[in-house]
């Protein structure tokens, strides 16, 4: 069937065909033909207050639902404002389709009003992008964009749409399948490699599973759990992998890396086998690379072959979708179990249990001051650990990761790779709109939240009753922590002067949200409960201990076993000599 | 170590920019890059010479493969492939040296494609080493301008 329509109509029709139910964006001159058509479409339009908010909201929606997030912005500044959000999605492998308006094709290259080379600017931070020059290409381009965004290793795809292409006409037809001769993600793992991995797992004395965001992306949690339980292998997860494996599970060692648990980091150092699933050995995970996991052989399962061997040598690489590979791996292990003698692991298990008992995450609980960790613990308790938690970036993010234990996937939403301050609030709106029945908390810092605070307006108008818990320490807290530890306590440009500005309660109320201030530990529960009972967005301004630090910590450039900070309060032992290569 | 990659790509706008950007971003050095259409108008072939260690070559190949428009990558082994390059050189000549230069050109089975009173333009094709040898031999006469295409290559047989 062929239908004559405009480019804008074809775009909206294609979005509907892809099953898009919601998009986030801001119109502008060259996008008007598209928004004109969208007006009559059943797709929900969420008008954010800044394009960065649109990209993060689409990202949060994608993480919470597993669907492709869609955002839209006009040419020039609209598109450049999306850039941070697109880069954020790229670093965390989030399926996103970004649609940008562009000046008319005859003006491209003339430095026209609101012209920017959007495809050029975004090339390094997208999985793929398109500049559409012919309206007839629109159905194929949209179909390809969604397919590329959600398959293989997911990522953002951008479509740049000149205004005359939106206005032009075409005969609409939709292909059965996208035609992409150069794009065939490998999903099924190599059989021989899987058998090798199965043998290595059975033969390992000190095995560890290291689970990353790929487990969540591919929906591999159940298979991962089988692998861990059937073989009694302890599991650690990355920030992105939070929720891949239940944190209350006896085999869970918690998060690893710079602010991970001692148990997880020690286990990596002592392991003779690391089973990495959907993780990429980021520098925040490995610490000093040359001393990372010195005793371990590495099985690396990843859908992106370029991740394998990039930072750490993989002895048994397996390219494929995590769920598919783990399923095959579990089957192979069952088959081989009788042929292979598994060494006694009781010593290893005892070692891990010992570390867990000896080094739990902890903070000074008797200080009498309001501790940020306590706030997170109470949010966890009062939401029964069942909220969807978004975070900003910095100390708030690490405390959320350490103290909000997550039991299932897609409930912890955080900017991992790019570390984008300002991500949490718009992401929480996207997550809330994608999963309206859930309680959504944004655990925020006073620095981060001010970077996208204007999205409170979006939350209010769209009826997204997100709860923003600001761990307000009056500082760019992680910067201050590093300055304290590695720059001789010179707090250069990190103090935000919370006594003077802003008044977050008044700010919340100005936007039509509810604002609550808490300075007293006694009042924490009441504020959280009040927020939970309020059906509109609530901002709680927790005035926490300003100089509390995130511990334990592996100093940048230090090996994983060298953790500081959690054994003594206050911390006197710091290692300025390890700050040779600060890369905050 | 130098490697010659033969890369089949979809003949679409921006593909060269994507490849160049990838090399720049990941810090890989391109020695030479030649691109042109194949027998199929929708597919182009890029011949890229990179100077990287074995480990980095693996990354180059994998990262290239992630570009949606890249269809196939072959790391050409010099033993089982043929590679050619073309040079155009404008060499200074006068009535005394002209015949000497022409003799060198003949030895290299080159062509003279332009003649003027002070210079001639010579076209020579061959392996990179051959072109280098040619360049070295005519350099004493004075090279006014010179351009090389970069290597193009195909695997032998089949």
Average pLDDT, chain B: 94
- pLDDT of A17 > 80? The answer is yes
Is A137 an 8 Å CB contact of chain B?
no
SS3 string, A91-160, reads HCCCCEEEEEEECCHHHCCCCCCCCCCHHHHHHHHCCEEEECCCHHHHHHHHHHHHHHHHCCCCCEEEEE
Q: Select from A306, A314, A317 the residue whose CB has the most chain B CBs within 10 Å, as the one to mutate to test that interface.
A: A306
Cα separation, B83 vs B4, whole angstroms: 9
Strand B81-92, strand A563-564: pairing: unpaired
* Pairwise CB contact (< 8 Å): B65 & A123: no
- pLDDT of B80 > 50? The answer is yes
**pLDDT per position as a tens digit, A321-352:** 999 999 999 999 999 999 999 999 999 999 99
Alpha helices in chain B (DSSP H): 15-26, 54-66, 98-107, 128-138
Cα separation, A332 vs A223, whole angstroms: 13
CA distance B63 to chain A (A): 6
Residue extent(s) of CATH 3.30.70.1150 domains in chain B: 82-155
CA distance A77 to chain B (A): 22
* Pairwise CB contact (< 8 Å): B68 & A305: no
Residue extent(s) of CATH 3.30.70.260 domains in chain B: 2-76
pLDDT band at residue A572 under the 50/70/90 scheme: very low
Please state which CATH number belongs to domain B82-155. 3.30.70.1150
**pLDDT per position as a tens digit, A442-470:** 999 999 999 999 999 999 999 999 999 99
- pLDDT of A475 > 90? The answer is yes
- pLDDT of A197 > 90? The answer is yes
SS3 B142: coil
Cα separation, B18 vs A39, whole angstroms: 35
The pLDDT, as a whole number, for residue A579 is 35
* Chain A residues whose beta carbon lies within 8 Å of the beta carbon of residue B68: 127-128, 148, 180, 182-183
Cα separation, A49 vs A460, whole angstroms: 12
| Run of H or E including A529 | helix A524-533
- pLDDT of B15 > 60? The answer is yes
Does the ipTM exceed 0.85? Answer: yes
Structural domains of chain A ordered from first start: 3-172 (3.40.50.970), 191-358 (3.40.50.1220), 372-550 (3.40.50.970)
Looking up tokens 């020059």, which residue turns up? A133
Tokens of residue B126, six digits? 């061959």
Interface of A with B in 310-329 (CB under 8 A): 310
**pLDDT per position as a tens digit, A377-423:** 999 999 999 999 999 999 999 999 999 999 999 999 999 999 999 99
* Pairwise CB contact (< 8 Å): B69 & A182: yes
The pLDDT, as a whole number, for residue B53 is 83
Is A305 an 8 Å CB contact of chain B?
yes
Nearest C-alpha in A relative to B18: A123
Instruction: Choose among A123, A181, A306: nearest Cβ to B71.
Output: A181
Is A184 an 8 Å CB contact of chain B?
no
pLDDT band at residue A580 under the 50/70/90 scheme: very low
- Please give the CATH architecture assigned to the domain spanning B2-76: 2-Layer Sandwich (3.30)
Average pLDDT over residues B82-91: 96
Q: Select from B18, B66, B69, B72 the residue whose CB has the most chain A CBs within 10 Å, as the one to mutate to test that interface.
A: B66
The pLDDT, as a whole number, for residue A567 is 72
* Chain B residues whose beta carbon lies within 8 Å of the beta carbon of residue A90: none
* Pairwise CB contact (< 8 Å): A123 & B21: yes
């Amino acid at each position: 069937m062929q239908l004559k329509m405009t480019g804008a109509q074809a775009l909206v029709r294609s979005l509907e065909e892809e099953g898009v139910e919601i998009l986030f964006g801001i119109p502008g001159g060259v996008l008007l033909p598209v928004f004109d058509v969208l007006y009559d479409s059943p797709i929900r339009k969420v008008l954010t207050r800044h394009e960065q908010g649109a990209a993060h909201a689409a990202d949060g929606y994608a993480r919470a639902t597993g669907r492709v997030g869609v955002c839209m912005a006009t040419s020039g500044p609209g598109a450049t404002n999306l850039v941070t959000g697109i880069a954020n999605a790229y670093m965390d492998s989030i399926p996103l389709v970004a649609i940008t308006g562009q000046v008319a094709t005859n003006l491209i290259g003339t430095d026209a009003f609101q012209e920017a080379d959007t495809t050029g600017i975004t090339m390094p931070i997208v999985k793929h992008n398109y500049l559409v020059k012919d309206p007839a290409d629109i159905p194929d381009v949209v179909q390809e964009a969604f397919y590329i965004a959600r398959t293989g290793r997911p990522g953002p795809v951008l479509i740049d749409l000149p205004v005359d292409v939106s206005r032009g006409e075409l005969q609409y037809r939709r292909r059965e399948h996208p035609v992409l001769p150069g794009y065939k993600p490998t999903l099924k793992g190599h059989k021989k490699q899987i058998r090798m991995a199965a043998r290595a797992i059975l033969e390992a004395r000190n095995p560890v599973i290291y689970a990353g965001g790929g487990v969540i992306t591919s929906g591999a949690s159940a298979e991962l759990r089988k692998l861990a339980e059937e073989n009694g292998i302890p599991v650690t997860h990355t920030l992105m992998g939070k929720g891949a494996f239940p944190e209350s599970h006896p085999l869970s060692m918690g998060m690893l890396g710079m602010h991970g648990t001692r148990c997880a980091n020690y286990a990596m150092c002592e392991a003779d086998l690391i089973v990495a699933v959907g993780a990429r050995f980021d520098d925040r995970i490995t610490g000093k690379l040359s001393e990372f996991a010195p005793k371990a052989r590495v099985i690396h399962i990843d859908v992106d072959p370029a991740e394998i061997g990039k930072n750490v040598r993989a002895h048994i690489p397996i390219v494929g979708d995590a769920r598919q590979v783990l399923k095959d791996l579990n089957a192979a292990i069952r088959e081989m179990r009788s042929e292979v003698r598994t060494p006694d692991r009781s010593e290893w298990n005892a070692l891990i249990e010992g570390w867990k008992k000896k080094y739990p995450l902890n903070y000074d609980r008797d200080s009498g001051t309001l501790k940020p960790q306590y706030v997170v613990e109470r949010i966890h308790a009062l939401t029964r650990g069942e909220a969807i938690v978004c975070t900003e970036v910095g100390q708030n993010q690490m405390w959320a990761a350490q103290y909000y234990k997550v039991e299932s996937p897609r409930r912890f939403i955080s900017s991992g790779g790019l570390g984008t301050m300002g991500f949490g609030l718009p992401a929480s709106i996207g997550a809330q709109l994608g999963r309206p029945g859930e309680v959504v908390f944004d655990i925020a810092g006073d620095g981060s939240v001010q970077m996208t605070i204007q999205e409170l307006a979006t939350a209010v108008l769209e009826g997204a009753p997100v709860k923003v818990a600001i761990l307000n320490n009056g500082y760019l807290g992680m910067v201050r922590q590093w300055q304290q530890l590695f720059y001789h306590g010179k707090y250069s440009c990190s103090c935000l002067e919370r006594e003077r500005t802003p008044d977050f309660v008044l700010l919340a109320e100005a936007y039509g949200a509810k604002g609550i201030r808490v300075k007293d530990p006694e009042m924490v529960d009441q504020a959280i409960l009040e927020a939970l009972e309020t059906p509109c967005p609530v901002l709680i301004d927790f005035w926490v201990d300003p100089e509390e630090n995130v511990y334990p910590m592996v100093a940048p450039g230090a090996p994983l076993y060298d953790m500081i900070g959690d054994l003594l309060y206050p911390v006197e032992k710091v290692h300025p000599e390890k700050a040779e290569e600060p890369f905050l | 170590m130098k490697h010659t990659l033969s890369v089949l790509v979809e003949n679409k706008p921006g593909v060269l920019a994507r490849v160049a950007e990838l090399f720049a971003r990941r810090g890989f050095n391109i020695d030479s890059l030649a691109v042109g259409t194949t027998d199929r108008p929708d597919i182009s072939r890029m011949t890229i010479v990179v100077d990287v260690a074995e480990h980095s070559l693996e990354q180059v190949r994998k990262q290239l493969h992630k570009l949606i428009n890249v269809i196939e990558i072959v790391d050409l082994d010099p033993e089982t492939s043929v590679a050619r390059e073309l040079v155009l050189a404008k060499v200074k000549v006068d009535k005394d040296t002209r015949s000497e230069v022409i003799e060198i050109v003949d030895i290299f089975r080159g062509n003279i494609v332009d003649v003027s009173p002070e210079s001639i333009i010579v076209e020579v094709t061959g392996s990179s080493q051959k072109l280098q040898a040619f360049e070295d031999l005519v350099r004493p006469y004075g090279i006014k301008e010179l351009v090389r295409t970069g290597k193009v290559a195909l695997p032998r047989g089949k």
